[in-house]
Chains A and B, each alone.
Chain A
């Protein structure tokens, strides 16, 4: 242990050099570090949202909604095709995760075959069961469902990204998490209410006709139509509703642009159709002059103006009871596109810039003070040997910083706590060795043998004790979430670097000192 082979010396120096190079960019200002040439490590420690301020939103895509919608569309398709083929049916609807109906002519084999063929042609991957009484049960295969789910989540991520980009948020991170979740991280956004509101709407826009004769509230809603509430107030102060046809004239997918603007001093949204949308709207409006059409957003009628003439210019205006902010948000939503399914916010963690800055300052004070006190304590207790342990402690911190920067791990507030804890525990390995050396010296050994025996005997203990803590830290890293991981990362790194510095660096210092001074006794 008192021999220090050349390779060990090179290893220690190399680790030190690499550590310094990777830790150094943290001393620079961020802009300066980013301007460094590419071959120089220029990464700084990645601060977590709790330190730099920002929002963390965990969203879930409502896949049940998607599956339900998929089934509803299937039912509509079946209805249409069966009617077209003039096949009688009853009880068409959704039952659990399947579409079902009873075929009237269930005794007729050719009707059964035709119906079966019609249903099979509707979509790929359908599972069709027919009972002896002519009851059809049609469901999507698990693969078809999963694929639809995957697509919807991917589309949702894209739309979420577009919406957030439109708000001008810098460096958002939008990732898929698990099967149906989206993790949104917004550095610098301390109060994400606007973004939450933007993500909370699917923003499905449709233009449809209002039913000519049915009166909302009084008449039964005719088939093919539905009653939708509106923003407008009726005479009694309640909200007015409309009976609107289900058939969509043009939808939001056919918009190319939307912008907030004013008309007669009222905030409105001006939109532009693409060619297809423009043509459809033109045709439909020409044939229906004088009728009411409804602009529907997320199952709510925004406005229902009268078509006074054919509208063929490819642009239009949505007016309603809007504030300026609302028209801006609506325009943004229309530009970014509709979400294929509603999103639910499962978890939110936002930290304002003030608290983040306070936490960094507090963390700095706590770790510096802890460091200084531990250094004084070690020097007072062990004298020269304490000083060597202190060098190791400082190098230890440099190495943690270097590892955090190099691995681009995220430093969080609990992470700082992990570093402070490491400062206290890092000297343990040295203390173990020093105590052994002391004991050996007391037993009458000379400096060289005492140091040799001290290291040899302390080694297993150091490894045992650090490994047990490392097990706990690594499990935290694997199973922990958010703040806990930040803590586990610095704690694990600290354990590894402190083992290295105690076993290699302090030993190098002591051995060098031993060779130079050749002391007759050890002052330990």
Chain B
């Protein structure tokens, strides 16, 4: 027998009763995220800040402090070393060199010459010159703004403005708090993590749209129901779907985080956070925001409800 039959079919959680707590929580989350972003900033990867990242597998477990001294003595400015998943796998970050691209290439050569015989394999070398770094930053910003705009336009086109405003607020909330997450954890923020942020935007809006669809439908069906009760009804009707989809997505992402390898661990972490916060924001922010707007005014005469359906639903 399917498990679902044991899950209550008709949950009656009073989400809207807690809307003030949720709004305060979301407000704090945004404030903290912005503060973290302002104070700590993001740990930008080479994609955006320019510079050099080298991952090497050494023949024997590396003596990090000795290596740090040797590479630090090359006069390349700040060089940071860290173990990357294993004792003989080290990640070397060299700050962007003054001057043009040639200086950066020389720095790679200098590091490689210094490492010399210690190396079993250069697993990864990423170098982004100042010119391309600037371009990537710009392209990333454009992609983000356009994606948000595109989603916003679509929502506006499909729903009334009140819905669009609430959905976009929730969306921005998710994006800002995800950036806060990256500022807090100092997980490297690179092109891939930017893609993660945009995916979160997509997922979060997906979730919100499903719930809003139901709110709209419920609005047409129950003309007299008090607004808070009506929103609660819509949230509860979609609750099991919200939970189920979040769970399957999280299952897949946790697998990716645990077994997908070091290179995309930060990316998976960002996605996991985003799915959780995106699910929360649809319920805890987008719908409560709707409750402060006059929804009945605009849908009242728009479409006649189907009385037979309403009758069937009234149990």
Contact = CB atoms under 8 A, between A and B. Distances in A.
Interface of A: 50, 58, 60, 190-191, 193, 196, 200, 344-355, 358-359, 362-363, 365-367, 369-371, 373-374, 377-378, 380-386, 413-414, 416-417, 420-421, 423-425, 427-428, 431-432, 435, 438-439, 442-445, 457, 460-461, 464-473, 475-476, 478-484, 487-488, 491, 523-524
A213 B260 CA distance: 70
Contacts of A466: 206
Contacts of A523: 1-2, 5
Given A464-B158, A475-B146, A491-B199, A345 B260 contact: no
Given A468-B155, A475-B143, A435 B240 contact: yes
Interface string B118-147: 000111111111011000100100110011
A365 B259 contact: yes
Contact of B252 (A414, A424, A468, A487): A424
A479 B142 contact: yes
A358 B264 CA distance: 12
- Looking at chain A's contact residues, the main secondary structure is helix
15 contacts: A348-B126, A348-B127, A349-B124, A350-B126, A366-B260, A417-B264, A420-B256, A424-B252, A425-B206, A465-B207, A476-B198, A482-B191, A483-B195, A487-B192, A523-B5
B75 interface: no
Interface in B198-213: 198-199, 201-203, 205-207, 209-210, 213
A307 B143 CA distance: 64
Interface string B60-83: 000000000000000000000000
A363 B136 CA distance: 26
Given A365-B259, A370-B255, A347 B128 contact: yes
A480 B255 contact: no
A-B pairs with lowest CB-CB distance, top 4:
A383-B2, A424-B252, A362-B261, A424-B249
Contacts of A350: 122, 124-126
Given A381-B4, A386-B2, A420-B256, A346 B142 contact: no
Contact of A380 (B3, B142, B201, B205): B3
Contacts of A346: 101, 129, 131-132
A306 B57 CA distance: 50
Nearest to B148: A472
Contacts, number: 264
Contact of A355 (B10, B55, B105, B260): B55
B312 A443 contact: yes
A373 B255 contact: yes
A384 B3 CA distance: 11
A15 to B, nearest CB: 24
Interface residues of B, number: 82
A371 to B, nearest CB: 8
A417 B267 contact: yes
Contacts of A481: 136, 139, 191
Interface of B: 1-5, 9-10, 55, 57, 100-102, 105, 108-109, 112, 121-129, 131-132, 136, 139, 142-143, 146-147, 150-151, 154-155, 158, 191-192, 194-195, 198-199, 201-203, 205-207, 209-210, 213-214, 217, 237-238, 240-241, 244-245, 247-253, 255-256, 258-261, 263-264, 267-268, 271, 312-313, 315
A480 B253 contact: no
Given A381-B4, A469-B203, A442 B9 contact: yes
A349 B125 contact: yes
Contact of B245 (A200, A348, A427): A427
A460 B209 CA distance: 10
Q: Which of B238, B253, B256, B312 has the most CB of A within 10 A?
A: B256
B248 A193 contact: no
Given A374-B251, A468-B151, A381 B244 contact: yes
Given A362-B261, A421-B253, A461-B210, A354 B4 contact: no
A311 B147 CA distance: 69
Contact of A424 (B9, B202, B250): B250
B139 A480 contact: yes
A262 B312 CA distance: 96
A190 B139 contact: no
A490 to B, nearest CB: 11
Contact of B248 (A377, A384, A488, A524): A377
A133 to B, nearest CB: 39
A469 B313 contact: no
Given A351-B124, A414-B195, A470-B202, 14 more contacts: A348-B108, A350-B126, A425-B203, A428-B248, A457-B217, A461-B209, A461-B214, A465-B210, A471-B147, A472-B199, A475-B198, A484-B191, A523-B2, A524-B2
